Structure 1
Amino acid sequence: MKIFYLAHRVPYPADKGEKIRTFHQINYLVEQGHQLTVFAPVEDAAEVGFANDLQAKLGVTVLTAPLGSALWRKLSAVLTGQPVSQTHFFCPALQALLQQQLQTEQPDAVVCTSSAMAVYVQRAGLVSSAKRPCTLLMDFMDLDSDKWQQYAANSSWPMRWVYQREARLVANAEQQIYQQFDHCFFISDNEVQLFAKQLADASKVSVLANGLDTSAFYPAATPANPDDPVFLFTGVMNYKPNEDAVLWFVQSMWQQVLAKYPGARFIIAGMQPSSRIVQLGKLQGIEVTGYVDAILPYYHQASIFIAPFRLARGVQNKILQAMACGLPVITTPLGAEGIACKPGEHLLTASTEADFIACIEQVLTSPRLQLALQTNGPELIRQHYSWDGVLQNLPALLQQRQEASA
Structure 2
Amino acid sequence: MGEILFLAHRIPFPPNRGDKIRAHHLLHKLACMAPVHVGCFAENDEDRAGEGALCAIAASYKIVNRNKPLVLAGAEAVLSGKPVSLTAFHSAQLESWVRETIATRNIATIVIFSGQMGQYIPDDFDGRVVIDLCDVDSAKFESYAEAGERVWLNSREGRLLAAEEARLCRRADTTILISDNEAELFRSRLPASQGAGVTVLGNGIDADFFNPSRVQPDVQISGRPGPHFVFTGQMDYRPNEQAALWVLDQLLPAIRSSYPDAEFHIVGRNPTAKLLARSKQDGLTIHGEVPDVRPFIAAADCVVAPLLIARGVQNKVLEAMAMARPVLVTPEAATGIAATDDAHWMICVADAQIMTARMQTLLGRPQAKSAMGEAARQFVVDFHAWDAMLAPLETMVGIAAQENRNAA
> Normalised by the size of structure 1, how large is the TM-score?
0.92
1:280 partner SS = coil
Question: Offset of 1:360 from its aligned partner?
Answer: 1.3
Q: Identity over the aligned pairs, expressed in percent? A: 31
After the TM superposition, which of the residue ranges 17-26 and 59-68 deviates more from structure 2?
59-68
Distance in structure 1 (CA, Å) of the matches to 2:153 and 2:234? 22
Counterpart code for 1:167 = G
1:339 corresponds to which residue?
Answer: 337
Q: Deviations along 1:166-219, whole A, 9 cap, x unmatched?
A: 110000001111111111011100001111112313210110000001111013
Distance in structure 1 (CA, Å) of the matches to 2:42 and 2:367? 49
Q: Deviations along 1:217-272, whole A, 9 cap, x unmatched?
A: 01358887996211100100011100011100110121222222222221101011
Corresponding pairs, count: 390
Distance in structure 2 (CA, Å) of the matches to 1:308 and 1:163? 23
Q: Is the 8 A contact 2:14 2:47 kept in 1?
A: no
1:187 corresponds to which residue?
Answer: 178
From the superposition, tell whether residues 193 and 226 of structure 1 become closer, same or farther in structure 2 (CA, over 3 Å): farther
1:145 corresponds to which residue?
Answer: 138
Unaligned runs of 5+ in 1: 401-406
1:99 corresponds to which residue?
Answer: 99
After the TM superposition, which of the residue ranges 81-90 and 192-201 deviates more from structure 2?
192-201
Distance in structure 2 (CA, Å) of the matches to 1:109 and 1:103? 13
Question: Offset of 1:330 from its aligned partner?
Answer: 0.6
Distance in structure 1 (CA, Å) of the matches to 2:331 and 2:223? 27
Distance in structure 1 (CA, Å) of the matches to 2:58 and 2:154? 40
Q: Is the 8 A contact 1:362 1:369 kept in 2?
A: no
> After superposition, where does 1:7-406 map in structure 2 within 5 Å?
7-30=8-31, 32-56=32-56, 58=57, 60-70=59-69, 71-121=71-121, 124-126=122-124, 132=126, 134-156=127-149, 159-199=150-190, 200-201=192-193, 202-220=195-213, 228-351=226-349, 352-399=351-398
Q: Is the 8 A contact 1:51 1:62 kept in 2?
A: no
1:15 partner SS = coil
Distance in structure 2 (CA, Å) of the matches to 1:45 and 1:254? 35
Counterpart code for 1:210 = N
Q: Is the 8 A contact 2:38 2:58 kept in 1?
A: no
Q: Is the 8 A contact 2:254 2:353 kept in 1?
A: no
Q: Is the 8 A contact 1:68 1:91 kept in 2?
A: no
1:403 corresponds to which residue?
Answer: none
Counterpart code for 2:162 = A
Distance in structure 1 (CA, Å) of the matches to 2:371 and 2:124? 51
CA RMSD of aligned residues (A): 1.9
From the superposition, tell whether residues 8 and 126 of structure 1 become closer, same or farther in structure 2 (CA, over 3 Å): farther
Counterpart code for 1:144 = D
> Normalised by the size of structure 2, how large is the TM-score?
0.91
2:100 partner SS = helix
Counterpart code for 1:148 = F
Counterpart code for 1:320 = L
Question: Offset of 1:51 from its aligned partner?
Answer: 2.4
1:243 partner SS = helix
Counterpart code for 1:398 = V
Misfit runs of 4+, over 3 Å? 43-46, 220-227
From the superposition, tell whether residues 335 and 397 of structure 1 become closer, same or farther in structure 2 (CA, over 3 Å): same
Unaligned runs of 5+ in 2: 400-408
Question: Offset of 1:17 from its aligned partner?
Answer: 0.5
Question: Offset of 1:149 from its aligned partner?
Answer: 1.0
